[in-house]
Every structure is written in structure tokens, then in C-alpha cells.
């Protein structure tokens, strides 16, 4: 029998993403070790099944029909954390707020900017996530990863292709044979006073509570902060707000009244609602400023497609010259 970890069938994906949207996955696997992950990858390859790898699901929109393949979740069962002086190693399933707390407890500074980001560490690395003009890639020493073909490899920081909200490991990057799953990563941090670190973390958390709609299901920032568009009209939240779209609603999905780069689930929102709303926002913004907003959030189609939500929102992506 295949050793794959905890396996369930027909698992509702809305229970595994921050938007609380998505139909059932045919096969849902939660491994607790590298060997189990490799076993799943080999099984998927031999059977020719679609595969998607998730953490906390904070940057994903699952199809209403669910997923006709295998969903591999790196979560609590894959979340070890170790410290050696100022060096830290953490597995991909570790919850980022827990990682930030652990670092504060250890008196290690350098990742406070990630406080309040609700995703998994693997997802943070893959998206080179962060805030306050910082990103996790600044602190990465190396990343241990496994390819969809089952090859294990350790990448040095300079091999990870880190750039603004991008990396070699980003979901949907490249063909399946060259796609990699973040298993764990090493960080080099700076010793500092624990109380100073905690005060900074609390300050950032308070700022996020005042700025973002944390009381309703959402995926965080929907649209990416493209430098060319920023120079033209500012950050995406300001662009959407200046277009007069706060409160714009399709079904159960609504542009947040608190922050216009957030789409919230008012209750019962579907993926179709979100995609229609994204498409309408993009169209109206383009009509006003002549540029297309592109999405940070990825749409996971029922048959295995994995693309920025803007690509399936009903409006074409056009590169401005």
C-alpha cells in the first residue's frame, strides 16, 4: 500500500483556503515526511493525474467544481522548526505567524515584516512574500525542494531567481518536469532584543488590523503591484478605489470597503462570482487608466490548470508598450 500520509476522498477545498471557496478534491493528501511526498509524486506521475500543491491556500481560488486529481497539502504534519545560533531551518508547512512568533521568542530579527501574513512558509518562499518593502528572499540561505518528477535538490539563494513576489518555485512556473515544491528553507537572521522584536511585531499586526478586512474570508491582495502601473497611477488598492469600485459586488463577492485590493466573501461566494468581479474591476480600471491589472491570486481549475485569476476573468491580458 502506498505510504502517502493522511488521505481523504472528496475533501471540500473551501475548508483549505482563506477565501472559503471551492468544490471537492478527488484525492486529498497530507504527508508528514519527504518520503511520503516523493511517493505521492511518483504515484501521480505513473497514473497521469493532475496535481496541485498547497499550504494554507491563502493565494488560491479553487474552482466551484473542485479538483479532478490529487491535492497535496503541506500543513501541520510538515512544519518542523529548528534553530542554530542565528540560523533557522523551517519546513514548508509551518504557519508564517507561528514562525514569526518562534523567531521573536528566540530573539532573532529579520522577518518581522511577515507578521500577520496568514500563509505557510513554503508559500511565502515560493512567492517571495513579505511586506513593508521587504521579502523573505532577503534572508534565505538555501531552499530544499523536490521536483514534480521526484528529484530532491537544494538550491542556493542565488539559484532561486528571487524577484518581486516571484521565484523559481512559484506555482504554475514552467512545465511540470521543471516545477519544484518547497520542502524547507534555511534563513540567516540577526540577534536582537526579544522585547524590541515583539513590539515591532505587535505594531505591524495592529497596522494590519486597522487597514485590512480581516473579519471576512479573503485571499489578501488580489492584484499585483506592477512597477509600470504603479508609476502610472499608484498601488492597485488606490487604483481600484480611485475608479470608484469599493463595494462593487457580484453574488457573494465584494470589493472591500476597507481596502480596495481585497475581495471579501460575504457568505456563499463562488469562484465564478470572484472571477466575474475581477474581470469587471480590470475592465473599468483599463477604461480609466489604459492599463490592465494582473492578479497575484492563482486560479486552480477543475482539470489541473493553474493560472493567475486575471487570465480566466473574462478580460484579456494586454502588455502595455
Kindly give, in sequence order, each residue whose CB lies less than 8 Å from that of residue 15, ignoring residues fewer than 6 positions away.
none
272 is catalytic: no
The tens digit of pLDDT for each residue in 199-221 reads 999 999 998 888 888 889 999 89
Closest CA to 116 of 95, 101, 132, 97: 97
Predicted confidence at residue 149, as pLDDT, reads: 87
Is the CATH number 3.30.43.10 carried by domain 6-76? yes
Given the residues 165, 198, 208, 288, select the one marked as catalytic: 165
Q: Is the pLDDT of residue 197 over 80?
A: yes
Mean pLDDT computed over 105-114: 95
Residue range(s) in the chain whose domain bears CATH number 3.30.465.10: 79-209
221 is catalytic: yes
Is the CATH number 3.90.78.10 carried by domain 227-312? yes
Closest CA to 187 of 120, 73, 99, 101: 99
Rounded to an integer, what distance in angstroms lies between the CA atom of residue 205 and that of residue 132? Answer: 12
Given the residues 79, 109, 120, 221, select the one marked as catalytic: 221
Residue range(s) in the chain whose domain bears CATH number 3.90.78.10: 227-312
42-46, 217-221, 261-265, 317-321: least confident range: 317-321
Task: Look up residue 268 and give its three cell numbers.
Answer: 456563499
Rounded to an integer, what distance in angstroms lies between the CA atom of residue 195 and that of residue 200? Answer: 9
Q: Is the pLDDT of residue 132 over 70?
A: no
157 is catalytic: no
Select 79-209's CATH number: 3.40.50.300, 3.30.465.10, 3.30.470.20, 3.40.190.10: 3.30.465.10
Given the residues 112, 241, 280, 296, select the one marked as catalytic: 296
Q: pLDDT > 70: what percent of the chain?
A: 95
Amino acid at each position: 500500500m502506498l505510504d502517502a500520509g493522511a488521505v481523504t476522498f472528496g475533501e471540500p477545498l473551501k475548508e483549505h483556503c482563506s477565501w472559503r471557496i471551492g468544490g471537492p478534491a478527488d484525492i486529498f493528501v497530507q504527508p508528514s515526511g519527504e518520503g511520503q511526498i516523493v511517493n505521492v509524486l511518483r504515484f501521480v506521475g505513473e497514473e497521469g493525474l493532475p496535481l496541485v500543491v498547497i499550504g494554507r491556500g491563502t493565494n488560491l481560488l479553487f474552482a466551484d467544481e473542485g479538483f479532478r486529481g490529487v491535492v497535496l497539502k503541506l500543513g501541520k504534519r510538515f512544519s518542523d522548526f529548528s534553530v542554530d545560533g542565528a540560523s533557522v531551518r523551517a519546513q514548508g508547512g509551518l504557519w508564517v505567524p507561528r514562525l514569526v512568533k518562534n523567531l521573536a521568542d528566540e530573539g532573532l530579527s529579520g522577518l518581522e515584516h511577515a507578521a500577520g501574513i496568514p500563509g505557510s512558509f513554503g508559500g511565502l518562499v515560493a512567492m517571495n512574500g513579505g511586506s513593508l518593502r521587504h521579502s523573505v528572499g532577503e534572508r534565505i540561505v538555501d531552499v530544499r525542494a523536490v521536483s514534480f518528477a521526484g528529484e530532491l535538490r537544494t538550491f542556493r539563494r542565488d539559484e532561486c531567481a528571487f524577484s518581486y513576489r516571484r521565484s523559481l518555485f512559484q506555482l504554475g512556473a514552467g512545465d511540470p518536469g521543471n516545477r519544484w515544491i518547497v520542502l524547507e528553507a534555511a534563513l540567516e537572521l540577526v540577534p536582537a532584543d526579544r522585547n524590541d522584536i515583539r513590539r515591532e511585531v505587535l505594531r505591524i499586526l495592529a497596522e494590519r488590523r486597522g487597514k485590512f478586512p480581516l473579519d471576512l474570508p479573503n485571499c489578501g491582495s488580489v492584484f499585483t503591484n506592477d512597477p509600470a502601473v504603479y508609476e502610472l497611477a499608484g498601488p492597485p488598492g488606490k487604483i481600484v478605489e480611485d475608479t470608484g469600485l469599493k463595494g462593487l459586488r457580484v453574488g457573494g463577492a465584494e470589493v472591500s470597503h476597507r481596502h480596495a485590493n481585497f475581495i471579501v466573501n460575504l457568505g456563499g461566494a463562488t469562484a465564478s462570482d470572484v472571477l466575474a468581479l475581477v474581470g469587471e474591476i480590470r475592465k473599468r480600471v483599463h477604461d480609466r487608466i489604459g492599463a490592465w491589472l494582473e492578479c497575484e491570486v492563482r486560479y486552480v481549475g477543475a482539470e489541473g490548470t493553474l493560472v493567475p485569476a486575471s487570465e480566466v476573468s473574462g478580460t484579456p491580458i494586454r502588455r502595455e508598450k
